[in-house]
Amino acid sequence: MAADAATQQAAAAAATVTATATAAVKKPKLHGRAFYESIGSPKYIVAPMVDQSEFAWRMLSRSFLPESQRSSVLAYSPMLHARIFIESKKYRDQHFQPTKPDSDALFLDGNPAIDRPFFVQFCANDPQALLNAARIVAPHCDAVDLNLGCPQGIARKGHYGSFLQEDQDLIHRLIKTLHENLDIPVTAKIRILDTKEATLKYAQNVLSAGASILTVHGRRREQKGHLTGLADWQMIRYLRDNLPPETVLFANGNILQHEDLEKCLAATGADGVMSAEGNLSNPGIFAAPPPPGQEPRGYWRGRDGRGGWRVDEVFRRYLDIIHKYVLGVSPPPRRPLFVPGDDTAWMEEEILLPNRGGRDQGKPKKRRGDAAEENAALMTANFIGMQPHLFYLLRHFVSRHHDVRDALARARLGDMETYEAIYRMVEKKVAEGLLEYERTGGKSVEEDEPPPAAAAAEAGEDDDPESSARAVRECKRPWWVVQPVIRPLPKEALARGAVQLSKKERKRVAAEMEEEQKKENAANKRPKDAAAAADGAQAAVAESVAATAAATQSLEKTTSYPASELVSG
């Protein structure tokens, strides 16, 4: 009975949403490259991220390009759970707002005037549930994407994402059901498997089921957290070379800065490149840096010629988008962003956080449920995402300015007054940093800089495929500039004690090492007694060296491409 009720509710919701699009002329359904070309053949893509690629973030990511080019960036919705989406109106209202509440007027998600091209991504393991959910969003997006890449424990528990890859028949039925019954195209995002042959077969299955676009994350399911390691661009190139030429292929992985976008396209041969963590660190990653001498106030360039978007500029844009589009009000009046030479009198003003008697006093942060009771409109994706987005953007900034970190941690859901006060704190500290940089001739940030290229080369760091030192040096900027978060490679994480192998993994690695040693002995035709001695020694040290071996032989699987030092994205 409950299932029947849920199905009826989903059907009613789909009918209601579809009714809002009846005035539009139904276009013929395109497929594959014809569909890709119809949406402008976008090269750059904002990745689908759980609670992190919502409308305001998509708008922010596009805002750094000239207005005429913003529609050339394809953006995905956050991953939505298909079954919950059709069963829960509350869930739909929180995560998908194509029309205004209790109205047919177009609002945020998929609005043709401001949020296209736009794909909606679902995770699912039931073809009919996926189709019901897809029909609800179809009038407000260009395609529906199936998530086959999520590697997290919740995906294992719920049996979706990358944990469907052992059931290729189910994957085929999920995609085929949408392809045959949906008015818009279906696409899919996968992770690579252990071998290129298995990955190619996987890709062929997805495409034969009817996917118009295939996105390939160049990491295996096991590569997550401290074991993320490098994405394998070579595997994506193999797919490009062995799939039909008309296949539309997107590459995902290893994108830390703008320059990596073209490197990835050249190395993989993909049609487009998707960014997740690189985009979270710098939503302006898709925009080319301004020419030297033509930098706007919000773009900083140092004495060494390297630069990037200032955190106060990005923070300001983000708040303005929330005000203008989500809240429907004008942003508060703001002074021009500070540059050295401007008046500094405003920097003497004290900044007090709202509802607090002082900087270190205040009400405890309200829980989401409390905020929803006061104002249900706050329990939507654009407000829920604010705090995590700002912590990621300000990752390097708050490591130095703990008062900003603490204020951000205490910010309540949807409390724009507090976020505005935190912005003013950031704006002031950036101004102070810029003045100190000018006063010291750039020496104020030298203590934070990684070793110069010459010293790194002398130490052999640039030649070590298991070191992130080169990526850190190339991406490092002063704390007032948005910049990527560089993960240590697995071997480095193991060495630092950030991750430890299980007993099962240690035994497996030790057995692999022993087998490899035996093969090497046989190849070298070593005497039996020498081989036995080596085997005994190997068994004695296997436990102590298992961690390093796991990183180099099992967990890493690096690529030989020139950009292989990139360790995140």
Neighbours of 476 (CB within 10 A): 17
Q: Which two tokens stand for residue 370?
A: 């409390």
Nearest to 280 by CA among 563, 109, 54: 54
Q: Identity (one letter) of the amino acid at 225?
A: G
CB 569 within 8 A of CB 231: yes
**Beta-bridge mates of residue 307:** 301
Q: Which two tokens stand for residue 16?
A: 């209601």
Q: Which two tokens stand for residue 459?
A: 């130490």
Q: Which two tokens stand for residue 472?
A: 């850190």
The whole-angstrom separation of Cα 259 and Cα 70 is 19
> 123 by DSSP, 3-state: which?
strand
- Verify whether residue 150 is a known catalytic residue: yes
For residue 166, CA distances in Å to 125, 202, 556 come to 12, 10, 22
CB 315 within 8 A of CB 423: yes
The whole-angstrom separation of Cα 273 and Cα 265 is 7
> Which string of DSSP letters, residue by residue, matches 13-66?
HHHHHHHTTTTSPPPPPP-HHHHHHHTT--SEEEPP-TTTS-HHHHHHHHHTS-
Strands (E), 292-348: 299-301, 307-309
For residue 135, CA distances in Å to 107, 130, 213, 406 come to 19, 9, 19, 43
The whole-angstrom separation of Cα 100 and Cα 5 is 25
Query: Per the residue annotation, which of 123, 150, 264, 475 is the catalytic one?
Result: 150
> 8 by DSSP, 3-state: which?
helix
For the annotated catalytic residues, the residue numbers are 150
